[in-house]
Structure 1
């Protein structure tokens, strides 16, 4: 299966956690942190997910879409967990 449907599925399935992770990273780097950024991040999460879904159909193959989005998720969540791992 190398069609647009599987690319779109990759963007849908892997795009939501990626969108959440990227919005969470943005909150952590804002000056006010969670107190001032959580509402903005929640509002930005859905449009970012839609952008990721839209961009996912531009990959050359569905395997490439799944691979790149999975790697982006791994990096994003790894960066989120890095401070916890450094404290322990």
Structure 2
């Protein structure tokens, strides 16, 4: 188990945030949930600013999938690989 300065289990937190960034489209507040989780990965250096910006844009659009936008913009290739959406 790895803990941060506040004693939070970082592995557990990352697993929870991973579930949140993959919240199904169309659920109420799902866009905001995905954006909040994306911010977590951005702060850890696991997502670039351009990819985070797409999640921000989609935050109020619960049915909008940010992944095709990220792919179209060509800004988050590493993130797409990680999330399993690289084409």
Q: Same fold by TM (over 0.5)?
A: no
Greater percentage in helix = 1
Q: Which of 1 and 2 has higher RCO (CA within 8 Å, sep 6+)?
A: 1
Normalized against structure 2, the TM-score is what? 0.28
